[in-house]
Amino acid sequence: MKILYTFNKRGAEADFWQREIAAASNAQFTFIPFNHDPYVDTSLYLRAQRLDDLYYERHTGLMRLYAEVEARVRDEKIDVIMVDNCPPYHPDWLRKLPVFKVLRVADGPLAAYDRDFAYAHAYDLVLYHSPAYSRDMEMGEKLQYVGAKKTVFWPLGVFDAGFAPEMFEGELFSLKRDIDVVFVGALHLGKMPLIARVKKAFGARCRLHGLTSFKKNLYFNAKYGFPGWVRPIEQSEYVPLYQRTKIGFNVHNRGKYTVGGYRFYELPANGVMQISDGDEYLNAFYQEGDEIIGIRVFVADDLIDKIRFYLAHDAERERIARNAYRRVMRDYRIGNLLRRAGAIVQEAMR
Protein backbone atom coordinates (compact mmCIF):
# COMPACT_ATOMS: atom_id res chain seq x y z
CA MET A 1 0.00 0.00 0.00
CA LYS A 2 1.35 3.43 -0.98
CA ILE A 3 0.48 6.29 1.38
CA LEU A 4 1.15 9.92 0.44
CA TYR A 5 1.67 11.63 3.80
CA THR A 6 1.15 15.37 3.31
CA PHE A 7 2.11 17.97 5.94
CA ASN A 8 3.40 21.54 6.28
CA LYS A 9 6.70 22.14 8.06
CA ARG A 10 9.75 24.34 7.58
CA GLY A 11 13.48 24.25 8.29
CA ALA A 12 14.96 21.50 10.45
CA GLU A 13 11.47 20.27 11.36
CA ALA A 14 10.61 19.76 7.70
CA ASP A 15 13.84 17.80 7.21
CA PHE A 16 13.25 15.29 9.98
CA TRP A 17 9.53 14.89 9.15
CA GLN A 18 10.54 14.08 5.57
CA ARG A 19 13.27 11.69 6.64
CA GLU A 20 11.44 9.82 9.39
CA ILE A 21 8.13 9.44 7.57
CA ALA A 22 9.93 7.81 4.65
CA ALA A 23 11.95 5.61 7.03
CA ALA A 24 8.74 4.16 8.51
CA SER A 25 8.13 2.25 5.26
CA ASN A 26 8.26 -1.54 5.29
CA ALA A 27 7.21 -4.40 3.01
CA GLN A 28 3.54 -3.72 3.75
CA PHE A 29 3.35 0.07 3.70
CA THR A 30 5.27 2.66 1.68
CA PHE A 31 5.09 6.12 3.21
CA ILE A 32 5.80 8.92 0.75
CA PRO A 33 6.33 12.26 2.56
CA PHE A 34 5.02 15.37 0.81
CA ASN A 35 5.53 18.84 2.31
CA HIS A 36 2.70 21.06 1.09
CA ASP A 37 4.09 24.15 2.87
CA PRO A 38 5.99 25.73 -0.09
CA TYR A 39 2.91 26.09 -2.28
CA VAL A 40 0.70 28.48 -0.28
CA ASP A 41 1.44 30.66 2.75
CA THR A 42 -0.17 28.85 5.69
CA SER A 43 -1.62 32.09 7.08
CA LEU A 44 -3.84 32.32 3.99
CA TYR A 45 -5.78 29.15 4.86
CA LEU A 46 -5.58 28.76 8.64
CA ARG A 47 -9.36 29.07 8.69
CA ALA A 48 -11.62 26.93 6.51
CA GLN A 49 -13.46 29.97 5.16
CA ARG A 50 -10.16 31.42 3.96
CA LEU A 51 -9.39 28.20 2.10
CA ASP A 52 -12.82 28.32 0.51
CA ASP A 53 -12.05 31.85 -0.71
CA LEU A 54 -8.72 30.71 -2.19
CA TYR A 55 -10.39 27.79 -3.91
CA TYR A 56 -13.11 30.03 -5.36
CA GLU A 57 -10.46 32.45 -6.66
CA ARG A 58 -8.40 29.58 -8.12
CA HIS A 59 -5.36 30.82 -6.23
CA THR A 60 -2.23 30.09 -8.31
CA GLY A 61 -0.25 28.37 -5.56
CA LEU A 62 -3.23 26.29 -4.47
CA MET A 63 -3.93 25.12 -8.02
CA ARG A 64 -0.25 24.25 -8.45
CA LEU A 65 -0.39 22.21 -5.24
CA TYR A 66 -3.49 20.34 -6.37
CA ALA A 67 -1.98 19.62 -9.78
CA GLU A 68 1.18 18.25 -8.10
CA VAL A 69 -0.83 15.96 -5.81
CA GLU A 70 -2.94 14.72 -8.72
CA ALA A 71 0.23 13.94 -10.67
CA ARG A 72 1.79 12.10 -7.72
CA VAL A 73 -1.37 10.06 -7.21
CA ARG A 74 -1.48 9.13 -10.89
CA ASP A 75 2.20 8.56 -11.61
CA GLU A 76 3.15 6.82 -8.35
CA LYS A 77 -0.10 4.83 -8.09
CA ILE A 78 -0.93 6.20 -4.64
CA ASP A 79 -3.59 4.28 -2.67
CA VAL A 80 -4.05 6.62 0.29
CA ILE A 81 -3.56 10.31 1.03
CA MET A 82 -3.01 11.18 4.72
CA VAL A 83 -3.29 14.87 5.55
CA ASP A 84 -1.62 16.20 8.71
CA ASN A 85 -1.61 19.63 10.39
CA CYS A 86 -3.40 22.55 8.74
CA PRO A 87 -5.10 20.91 5.72
CA PRO A 88 -4.89 22.89 2.43
CA TYR A 89 -7.25 20.59 0.52
CA HIS A 90 -10.74 21.86 -0.27
CA PRO A 91 -13.47 19.21 0.18
CA ASP A 92 -14.84 19.84 -3.32
CA TRP A 93 -11.44 19.07 -4.81
CA LEU A 94 -10.91 16.05 -2.56
CA ARG A 95 -14.24 14.63 -3.71
CA LYS A 96 -12.76 13.99 -7.16
CA LEU A 97 -9.43 12.53 -5.98
CA PRO A 98 -9.53 8.77 -6.64
CA VAL A 99 -7.81 7.58 -3.43
CA PHE A 100 -8.74 6.66 0.14
CA LYS A 101 -8.58 9.89 2.16
CA VAL A 102 -7.40 10.19 5.77
CA LEU A 103 -7.38 13.33 7.92
CA ARG A 104 -5.11 13.52 10.95
CA VAL A 105 -6.59 15.91 13.54
CA ALA A 106 -3.82 17.15 15.83
CA ASP A 107 -5.00 20.62 16.86
CA GLY A 108 -7.53 19.98 19.62
CA PRO A 109 -10.59 22.10 20.42
CA LEU A 110 -8.84 25.48 20.21
CA ALA A 111 -8.48 25.21 16.43
CA ALA A 112 -10.97 22.48 15.55
CA TYR A 113 -13.69 24.80 14.29
CA ASP A 114 -11.18 26.73 12.20
CA ARG A 115 -9.54 23.87 10.33
CA ASP A 116 -10.81 20.42 11.27
CA PHE A 117 -14.57 20.13 11.63
CA ALA A 118 -15.29 21.83 8.31
CA TYR A 119 -13.32 19.11 6.50
CA ALA A 120 -14.26 15.95 8.43
CA HIS A 121 -17.02 14.94 5.99
CA ALA A 122 -14.58 14.95 3.05
CA TYR A 123 -12.42 12.10 4.39
CA ASP A 124 -13.01 8.37 4.57
CA LEU A 125 -11.24 8.15 7.93
CA VAL A 126 -10.35 10.71 10.60
CA LEU A 127 -7.56 9.97 13.09
CA TYR A 128 -7.58 12.11 16.23
CA HIS A 129 -4.68 12.58 18.64
CA SER A 130 -6.59 12.79 21.93
CA PRO A 131 -9.99 11.57 23.12
CA ALA A 132 -10.48 14.82 25.06
CA TYR A 133 -12.67 17.52 23.55
CA SER A 134 -15.24 19.21 25.85
CA ARG A 135 -17.54 18.82 28.84
CA ASP A 136 -20.28 17.58 26.51
CA MET A 137 -18.56 14.85 24.50
CA GLU A 138 -15.25 13.29 23.52
CA MET A 139 -13.45 14.03 20.27
CA GLY A 140 -14.47 10.85 18.43
CA GLU A 141 -18.15 11.52 19.11
CA LYS A 142 -17.81 15.18 18.08
CA LEU A 143 -16.13 14.26 14.79
CA GLN A 144 -18.91 11.83 13.95
CA TYR A 145 -21.46 14.49 14.90
CA VAL A 146 -19.97 16.88 12.31
CA GLY A 147 -19.95 14.26 9.56
CA ALA A 148 -16.87 12.05 9.88
CA LYS A 149 -17.55 8.61 8.38
CA LYS A 150 -15.14 6.71 10.64
CA THR A 151 -12.91 7.87 13.49
CA VAL A 152 -10.01 6.22 15.35
CA PHE A 153 -7.85 7.48 18.23
CA TRP A 154 -4.23 7.67 17.00
CA PRO A 155 -1.91 9.56 19.38
CA LEU A 156 1.01 11.80 18.57
CA GLY A 157 4.49 10.59 19.47
CA VAL A 158 8.18 11.40 19.37
CA PHE A 159 10.39 11.68 16.31
CA ASP A 160 13.90 10.27 16.58
CA ALA A 161 15.10 13.86 16.16
CA GLY A 162 13.38 14.65 19.47
CA PHE A 163 15.59 12.40 21.62
CA ALA A 164 18.80 10.32 21.40
CA PRO A 165 17.77 6.94 19.92
CA GLU A 166 21.35 5.72 19.90
CA MET A 167 21.56 6.04 23.69
CA PHE A 168 20.70 3.04 25.88
CA GLU A 169 18.37 3.47 28.85
CA GLY A 170 21.16 3.02 31.38
CA GLU A 171 23.29 5.64 29.68
CA LEU A 172 20.42 8.12 29.51
CA PHE A 173 19.58 7.78 33.19
CA SER A 174 23.20 8.03 34.27
CA LEU A 175 23.49 11.56 32.86
CA LYS A 176 23.99 14.40 35.32
CA ARG A 177 20.73 16.35 35.56
CA ASP A 178 21.56 19.81 36.87
CA ILE A 179 18.26 21.49 35.91
CA ASP A 180 15.50 20.79 38.42
CA VAL A 181 12.44 21.95 36.49
CA VAL A 182 11.68 22.97 32.93
CA PHE A 183 8.71 24.25 30.96
CA VAL A 184 8.90 24.41 27.18
CA GLY A 185 5.84 25.65 25.33
CA ALA A 186 3.90 28.62 24.02
CA LEU A 187 3.47 31.45 26.52
CA HIS A 188 -0.33 31.71 26.21
CA LEU A 189 -2.15 34.20 28.40
CA GLY A 190 -4.14 31.51 30.18
CA LYS A 191 -0.99 29.69 31.27
CA MET A 192 0.86 32.75 32.57
CA PRO A 193 -0.41 32.85 36.19
CA LEU A 194 0.55 29.22 36.88
CA ILE A 195 3.91 29.41 35.07
CA ALA A 196 4.76 32.59 36.99
CA ARG A 197 3.94 30.95 40.33
CA VAL A 198 6.17 27.97 39.56
CA LYS A 199 9.03 30.16 38.38
CA LYS A 200 8.85 32.30 41.52
CA ALA A 201 8.74 29.21 43.73
CA PHE A 202 11.88 27.68 42.22
CA GLY A 203 13.76 30.71 40.84
CA ALA A 204 16.88 29.81 38.87
CA ARG A 205 16.15 26.11 39.41
CA CYS A 206 13.26 26.46 36.90
CA ARG A 207 13.95 27.11 33.21
CA LEU A 208 11.28 28.55 30.88
CA HIS A 209 11.51 28.32 27.09
CA GLY A 210 9.12 28.44 24.19
CA LEU A 211 7.13 30.36 21.63
CA THR A 212 6.75 33.98 22.68
CA SER A 213 7.57 37.54 21.65
CA PHE A 214 9.24 40.60 23.17
CA LYS A 215 5.84 42.21 23.74
CA LYS A 216 4.40 39.10 25.41
CA ASN A 217 7.48 38.75 27.62
CA LEU A 218 7.11 42.36 28.74
CA TYR A 219 3.46 41.75 29.60
CA PHE A 220 4.28 38.51 31.45
CA ASN A 221 6.90 40.16 33.63
CA ALA A 222 4.98 43.39 34.27
CA LYS A 223 1.75 41.57 35.08
CA TYR A 224 3.20 38.86 37.32
CA GLY A 225 6.03 40.65 39.07
CA PHE A 226 9.04 39.79 36.91
CA PRO A 227 9.07 36.01 37.26
CA GLY A 228 11.58 35.71 34.42
CA TRP A 229 12.20 36.08 30.71
CA VAL A 230 11.00 33.27 28.45
CA ARG A 231 13.55 32.53 25.71
CA PRO A 232 12.82 30.63 22.49
CA ILE A 233 15.24 27.83 21.66
CA GLU A 234 16.29 26.22 18.40
CA GLN A 235 15.24 22.70 17.45
CA SER A 236 18.78 21.47 18.08
CA GLU A 237 18.69 22.72 21.69
CA TYR A 238 15.72 20.65 22.89
CA VAL A 239 17.46 17.32 23.45
CA PRO A 240 20.52 18.71 25.32
CA LEU A 241 18.16 20.75 27.53
CA TYR A 242 15.91 17.80 28.36
CA GLN A 243 18.87 15.51 29.04
CA ARG A 244 19.92 17.88 31.82
CA THR A 245 16.43 18.10 33.36
CA LYS A 246 14.86 16.17 36.22
CA ILE A 247 11.20 17.27 35.99
CA GLY A 248 9.18 18.80 33.16
CA PHE A 249 5.68 20.16 33.66
CA ASN A 250 2.84 20.43 31.18
CA VAL A 251 -0.07 22.86 31.40
CA HIS A 252 -2.71 23.36 28.72
CA ASN A 253 -5.05 26.20 27.77
CA ARG A 254 -8.16 24.16 28.45
CA GLY A 255 -6.62 21.80 30.94
CA LYS A 256 -7.64 18.22 30.32
CA TYR A 257 -9.44 19.08 27.07
CA THR A 258 -6.22 19.97 25.23
CA VAL A 259 -3.88 17.30 26.59
CA GLY A 260 -1.70 15.17 24.31
CA GLY A 261 0.76 17.37 22.37
CA TYR A 262 4.25 16.45 21.16
CA ARG A 263 5.96 17.65 24.38
CA PHE A 264 3.89 14.97 26.14
CA TYR A 265 6.19 12.37 24.54
CA GLU A 266 9.45 14.29 24.14
CA LEU A 267 9.90 14.77 27.89
CA PRO A 268 9.85 11.06 28.87
CA ALA A 269 11.80 10.06 25.73
CA ASN A 270 14.66 12.11 27.19
CA GLY A 271 14.37 10.68 30.71
CA VAL A 272 12.46 13.63 32.17
CA MET A 273 9.80 12.87 34.77
CA GLN A 274 6.56 14.53 33.66
CA ILE A 275 3.89 16.30 35.71
CA SER A 276 0.80 17.33 33.76
CA ASP A 277 -2.82 18.31 33.96
CA GLY A 278 -5.22 16.06 32.08
CA ASP A 279 -7.30 14.45 34.84
CA GLU A 280 -8.96 11.22 33.66
CA TYR A 281 -7.56 11.59 30.13
CA LEU A 282 -3.98 11.03 31.31
CA ASN A 283 -4.70 7.31 31.46
CA ALA A 284 -5.48 7.26 27.74
CA PHE A 285 -1.73 7.81 27.20
CA TYR A 286 0.16 6.77 30.34
CA GLN A 287 -0.52 5.02 33.62
CA GLU A 288 -1.03 7.88 36.05
CA GLY A 289 1.08 7.44 39.17
CA ASP A 290 3.53 5.04 37.52
CA GLU A 291 4.43 6.79 34.24
CA ILE A 292 3.18 10.34 34.78
CA ILE A 293 1.96 12.47 37.69
CA GLY A 294 -1.30 14.36 37.39
CA ILE A 295 -2.19 17.75 38.86
CA ARG A 296 -5.43 19.65 39.29
CA VAL A 297 -6.06 22.09 36.43
CA PHE A 298 -4.52 25.54 37.02
CA VAL A 299 -3.89 24.81 40.73
CA ALA A 300 -0.36 26.15 41.18
CA ASP A 301 0.03 24.94 44.77
CA ASP A 302 -0.67 21.35 43.70
CA LEU A 303 1.96 21.55 40.97
CA ILE A 304 4.55 23.23 43.20
CA ASP A 305 4.01 20.71 46.01
CA LYS A 306 4.45 17.77 43.64
CA ILE A 307 7.60 19.21 42.07
CA ARG A 308 9.06 19.68 45.55
CA PHE A 309 8.11 16.15 46.59
CA TYR A 310 9.74 14.46 43.59
CA LEU A 311 12.86 16.63 43.76
CA ALA A 312 13.21 15.43 47.35
CA HIS A 313 12.51 11.77 46.44
CA ASP A 314 14.99 11.13 43.67
CA ALA A 315 14.53 7.35 43.44
CA GLU A 316 10.77 7.68 43.01
CA ARG A 317 11.25 10.42 40.41
CA GLU A 318 13.60 8.21 38.42
CA ARG A 319 11.27 5.19 38.72
CA ILE A 320 8.42 7.13 37.12
CA ALA A 321 10.70 8.62 34.47
CA ARG A 322 12.06 5.18 33.53
CA ASN A 323 8.57 3.69 33.28
CA ALA A 324 7.45 6.51 30.99
CA TYR A 325 10.61 6.22 28.89
CA ARG A 326 9.93 2.52 28.33
CA ARG A 327 6.31 3.25 27.43
CA VAL A 328 7.35 5.82 24.83
CA MET A 329 9.96 3.52 23.32
CA ARG A 330 7.37 0.76 23.04
CA ASP A 331 4.26 2.67 21.92
CA TYR A 332 5.01 6.23 20.85
CA ARG A 333 7.93 6.37 18.44
CA ILE A 334 6.86 7.84 15.10
CA GLY A 335 7.95 4.89 12.96
CA ASN A 336 5.89 2.44 15.03
CA LEU A 337 2.93 4.82 15.10
CA LEU A 338 2.95 5.27 11.33
CA ARG A 339 2.96 1.53 10.73
CA ARG A 340 0.10 1.23 13.20
CA ALA A 341 -1.74 3.92 11.23
CA GLY A 342 -1.14 1.92 8.05
CA ALA A 343 -2.85 -1.08 9.66
CA ILE A 344 -5.76 1.12 10.82
CA VAL A 345 -6.19 2.48 7.29
CA GLN A 346 -5.98 -0.98 5.77
CA GLU A 347 -8.70 -2.22 8.09
CA ALA A 348 -10.88 0.85 7.36
CA MET A 349 -10.52 0.29 3.61
CA ARG A 350 -11.99 -3.20 4.01
Average pLDDT, the chain: 95
Given this model, what pLDDT does residue 252 score? 86
19-52 tens-digit pLDDT? 999 999 999 999 999 999 999 999 999 999 999 9
> Is pLDDT above 80 for 343?
yes
Alpha helices in the chain (DSSP H): 11-23, 48-57, 60-75, 91-94, 109-115, 139-145, 169-173, 192-202, 214-223, 238-242, 263-269, 300-312, 314-331, 334-349
Q: Are residues 219 and 311 in the same domain?
A: yes
Q: Are residues 56 and 137 in the same domain?
A: yes
Q: Are residues 216 and 324 in the same domain?
A: yes
Q: Are residues 204 and 320 in the same domain?
A: yes
Q: Are residues 148 and 229 in the same domain?
A: no
Give every strand in the sheet of 273-276, ordered side by side. 206-209, 179-184, 245-250, 273-276, 293-294
Identify the domain containing residue 31 by its residue range.
Answer: 2-157+333-349
> Is pLDDT above 80 for 232?
yes
**pLDDT exceeding 70 applies to what percent of the chain?**
100
Q: Are residues 176 and 299 in the same domain?
A: yes
C-alpha to C-alpha distance for 47 and 20, rounded to whole angstroms? 28
268-319 tens-digit pLDDT? 999 999 999 998 999 999 999 999 999 988 789 999 999 999 999 999 999 9
Given this model, what pLDDT does residue 27 score? 96
77-92 tens-digit pLDDT? 999 999 998 899 999 9
